Structure 1
Amino acid sequence: MESEDGMALDWHVARALLEWQLEMGVDEALAEAPVDRFAVEAAAREAAAQREAAPARAAAPVRQAAVDPVAEAEALARAAVDLPALRAAMEGFDHCQLKRGARRLVFADGVATARVMVVGEAPGRDEDIEGRPFVGRAGQLLDRMLAAVQLSRAESVYITNVLPWRPPQNRDPRPEEIAMMLPFLRRHIALVDPALLVIVGNISCQALLGRRGITRLRGQWTEAEGRPALPMLHPAYLLRQPLAKRESWADLLSLKARLRDLSAPG
């Protein structure tokens, strides 16, 4: 340390002077150049704000583009070259909430080369447990109905549903659930390539025909997915309304006649 005249101070003298300054209240050494205290404070506030914002930016989630379930289902369905590939695609499809509450996927049953393809609505409790469509009381009635016109799932019929997973409490499927599973159903029909379709129940008519009102639609031949289609009452409805079996018998006879015409030469 030097004195004001440039002479060096004794160490003990210099220390004594510093101690005296401290006793007088001096707590900071001044530089040769002036310091802008306002700028120092502003810079400190800005640095603190940057430190607070940095963790927030690091923790902020990266936004991903919204996934269109229907578009993804269409892409997966198109890529399926056969029925095993289609089943695998459906099992890997995670956008339908019904999958989370179901025991297993209910894909299909019967003969994949059959001329008749039956399209039901959705699995029930028994189907969810067994993993095959139409195995409960309604399914047993369907088997008897088919047998009455010499048809069976063991030899001449292929059966599937609009939805492969059971809705909670057997409620009606929601429109968005039908929409996202419809591409798989259409691909299913294309791969099986049946001569005609039997569309069972309101939900199936809504999916394939865009219409509801099965009691009005039943028995009237129409077209779905480029082939003849016959809407019919659901066997579960017939269990509740036995008198309606008369109409279903007429529909079965119409189905038998249509198959006979398809088999006729020429």
Structure 2
Amino acid sequence: MKILDGKAVAAAWRERLLRKITELKQKNCVPGLAIVLAGDSKPSLMYARFMEKVADSYGFKAEIYRRGEEVTQQDMEDLIHQLNEDDAVHGILMMMPLPRGIDSSRVIACMDPDKDIDGLTSVNLGRLAAGEEGHFPCTPRAVMAILDYYHIPLDGKRAVVLGRSKVVGRPVSLLLEAQNATVTVCHSHTADMETLAGEADILVAAMGRPEKVTSSMVKPGAVVIDVGINRVNGKTVGDVDFADVSTVAGALTPVPGGVGSVTTTMVVDAIVSEAEKRMK
């Protein structure tokens, strides 16, 4: 079985992105990321600070715009409008969840779709569905980057996606379909999910249920992409039972060290791409 190493994929992308950032700086353009953090979510704060370090390692600017748990709807919407108008900001990354009492859909709707680098707005979801250019959710893009790096053929293959969330399941199904895979999306109401999963050449697990996918659900030789990140007894595990599934899969992403390692790189790529567009 082949392990699909996300760190190797991220390293290959990093080289290309560093070159692009150097070229932008030579044109007096420094990519800028605005990280919107509202409330007291510890995981969100950790990720926001992590993204600051990532930006620093790439040599571009990232600034956290922090608001407390008591922030109002108007304050949030005003902040987004301010960032939309700031020419130094090329991308807005919204940390979720927002505090209680905040209508997140209204806040997201305020974002300039061209600065919505994680593809949350209806405009970008529509662009994805229509096969048009736009910013798409970074985790699904990471899945596609891994498949591309390892030259895994998708044309004519049977792909099954476990999960239909707007940030992973639905977007990744559309991206797979755009590469001419035949895609089935399974969810909590799907009858006989195990049988459908067992027919997949490419199986993407994005349910948020620790180690739910076992060898009985995997076609021998299938490529299995584990998007899940779960904490169980102090350990980080995916949606796939790695030890069990590795006995039948042809290729498998680990957790950690798989999709998550590439997702951050896709955030950087989105910011750089937007900066490049502005320079044209």
TM-score by length of structure 1 reads: 0.31
Q: Which has the higher contact order (CA 8 A, sep 6+)?
A: 2
Larger Rg: 1
**If each structure's helix is expressed as a fraction of its own residues, which one has the higher value?**
1
TM-score by length of structure 2 reads: 0.30
**If each structure's strand is expressed as a fraction of its own residues, which one has the higher value?**
2
